[in-house]
Structure formats: structure tokens, C-alpha cells
Amino acid sequence: MNATERWQWIFLVLVLGGLVYLLAPALTPFAIAALFAYLWDPVVDRLERLRVSRDFAVTLVFLLIIVLVVLIVLLLIPYLERQVAKLIEQLPRWLAWVQAEAAPWVEQRFGVTLDFADPQKLIDMLSGHWREAGGLAATVLAKVSKSGFTVIGWVAQLVLIPVVTFYLLRDWDVLVSRVHELLPRKVEPTIAKLARESDEVLGAFLRGQLSVMVALGVLYGVGLWLVGLDVGPLIGMIAGLISFVPYLGAIVGVAMALIAALVQFGDWQHVVMVLAVFGVGQTIEGYVLVPKLVGDKIGLHPVAVIFAILAGGELFGFLGVLLALPVAAVVMVVLRYLHERYTASHLYNAGAAPPGELVPTVIVAGHEADAAPAPADIALITADAPPPAETRPVD
């Protein structure tokens, strides 16, 4: 690639980045629809392999998506709202237990003094924000109802997402092939290779890791509910959703569940049961969920995921959050490709002996160690050839 072509690619990337930045609000529903289409396209392809037409397969998957969204809105969100309200209600008892029981025990055992700020301020702040969040829908509807154009815009975007999702699912393979045909032939093999690797990385995280997170959230939530914790399902969901950072979900979940068990029951039996729930969850994650759902694909590093989401939200708002993971997957694959090119370049290998080069090895036989060997005593061996079995001295 010459200098002119490099500048053309740089100009193209800058133009696309500027358009995304300027059109971020309008592109948001299309990005959400593309995310849904990307996640569910393998299901449609599998139905096609069962000799189901593409249109009928897309219709079935689309109906399944609608059912799932309706169930989440009607059942899960109200249940989570009740769980969060119950957690805030129990926070004073948690903090009182930490100050009266946990802090003196830690100070007595380890000599560490735990100083806490006024817990009532924290409770009042959380309660106030939760009351505001609980009435958020009514507040937003009251404000947007004053502007008819705003309401029309919101409704249009909500309607646009399922419509675009349907058409993207139906024509996903066609769109991919069209983009592939438009690639310059000179760079097509490289870009196609990087695109396949990016799809593996992104798919490993979105389809695999997200499935692991949801499964762990359900497993922890049901387990803690069976233990008898009032806020067990909420703690389990929190632990599952942040489990993409290794051990963070288990640590946070165990800490919250232990405090809840000690405050609610005050015995060691429920503490052991809580530890058993998370022990079983970690075992299932390591030996069943990750091998089956993620496999040996290379996913995104948790730190890269966190940074990408924060940076995308800061630069492009909600659209940036949606595009963060795909962009991070592509950047990770490109960096790996550049690393391979660098380690194979002359700059990296300058001064190193090429593989297979003959290396002179002096073998002294029949002479003093500090004496100069005769020419017949010098054997040239390669790095992968065995040394001579026997060397006869010079007469």
C-alpha cells in the first residue's frame, strides 16, 4: 500500500467518524436493530439449514424477540423494582450490623479501625434517587407530552427498531456479501480475514459471555431465593451481570449475600448455604457454561470492555455505548494483526540469525582444551540436527 492509498483510507475513516458523530441521534435505532440482527442471525441460519425458508425463519425469530421483550417489560422490570425497593428498605439494618458487629470484629482480629461516614445520609440519598427513578416514567411523559414533535419522534424510533430489525435479519447475508463485493481487490483478503476474526471475538463475547452472565444471574438468584434471602434474586442478578470481570461478580455477590444472611437470620447455617450457592455457581461456570457457551474463542478482555463502553459513551453518547463492543473487537483484532506483522518484519528481526542457518560448532577431540583444533575437528551442525555420534581424533 503506497502513501496515496494510506491517505485515502485515513480520509475515509475520518469522514465516516464525523458522520457517525453528527448523525448519532438518528443512527441510534439503526444501531439497536443491527445489534438484534447480529445476535439472532445464527438462529435464522440454523433454521435455514433445517430447510426452513429465510422469510419464515425470520418471522419465527422475530416473534420470539417480541415475546421476550414483552415478558421483560411486564414481568421482570416490575419485579426488579420491588427488589430494589426492598434492598433500600433493608440498608439501615445492614449498615447498623456492619457498625455494631463487623467493624468491632475486624478491629479486634486485625487491629484495623473502620471509620464510616454518617450512614443515614447515604440511605436518604439512595431513597431520594430511587423515588425519583420510580416516578421517572411519569415525569418524562409529562414533559414530552408538552411537545407533540418529541412524542412523535420517540414513537417513530420505537416503531423503527423492530421494522429495521426484521429487514436486517431477512437480508443479513445479502448485505454481508454486498459489502464483501465492494472491498478493493488488493486488500480484500486481509480485510476479510480481519472481519472473520472480529466476528469470532465479538460473537464470543456477545453470544457466549452474555449467555454466561444471564445463566449465572438466574442460577445465583434462584439459589439465594431458595436459601430464603429477601433480596436474594436481586443479589444474584447483580453478581451474574458483573461476572464478565473474572471473580468480581462472585466477590460482590458473596459479600452482599453474607451480610444479608447474617442480618436476616443471624446464624452460620445460612452463611454456609450462601457459600454453597456461589461454590456451585463457580463450578458450573468453569466446567459447563464457559466451555459450552464460549468455548476456546478469544473474547474481549474485561478491562477493554469497560474502557470501550466508557469511551464510547463519552464520545458519542448512547450510540457510542452500542458501538463500543463491535469497535473494540475490530481494534483488538487489528492490533493482533499489527503485532504479527511487526514480529515478522525486518525491524524486529534485524541482527537475528535466520532459521536453519548453519552455526559453526567447535568439537575438540585428542587436543588440549586451550589448544587450537585442527580443521578436521570442526563440525558444522544445524540447530535441529543431532550432534555427531563419534568424532575421531586427527592422527
Q: State residue 368's pLDDT score.
A: 46
Give the least confident one: 47-61, 227-241, 246-260, 293-307. 293-307
Give the least confident one: 5-9, 158-162, 180-184, 215-219. 5-9
In this prediction, residue 233 has a pLDDT band, given cuts at 50, 70 and 90, of very high
The cell for 162 is 423492530
**How far is C-alpha 107 from the chain's CA centre?**
38
Kindly give the pairing relationship between strand 359-362 and strand 378-381. antiparallel
pLDDT tens by residue, 240-275: 988 877 788 899 999 999 989 988 888 889 999 999
pLDDT tens by residue, 191-216: 888 888 888 888 878 888 888 899 99
Interval 228-236 mean pLDDT: 91
In this prediction, residue 332 has a pLDDT band, given cuts at 50, 70 and 90, of confident
pLDDT tens by residue, 265-274: 888 899 999 9
In this prediction, residue 295 has a pLDDT band, given cuts at 50, 70 and 90, of low
> What is this structure's pTM?
0.69
In order, the DSSP letters of 147-206 are -HHHHHHHHHHHHHHHHHHHHHHHTHHHHHHHHHHHS-TTTHHHHHHHHHHHHHHHHIII
Q: State residue 136's pLDDT score.
A: 45
Residue 355 zone, left/alpha/beta (φ > 0; ψ -120 to 50; rest): beta
Q: Is 379 helix (H, G, I), strand (E, B) or coil?
A: strand
Residues 241, 249 contacting (CB under 8 angstroms): yes
The yes-or-no verdict on residue 174 having pLDDT over 50 is yes
Residue with more model confidence, 115 or 84: 84
Residue whose cell numbers read 476479510: 192
Q: State residue 272's pLDDT score.
A: 94
pLDDT tens by residue, 105-127: 777 777 666 665 555 555 555 55
Helix 232-241 and helix 210-227, axial crossing angle in degrees, nearest 10: 160
Q: In one letter, which amino acid is 293?
A: L
Burial class (CB in 10 A: 0-12, 13-18, 19+), 122: middle
Q: Which residues contact 169 (CB under 8 A, 6 or more apart)?
A: 36, 37, 40, 41, 44, 58, 61, 62
Phi, psi at 381, each rounded to 5°: -125, 150
Q: Where are the beta strands (DSSP E) in the chain?
A: 359-362, 378-381
CA neighbours within 13 Å on the CB side: how many for 95?
16
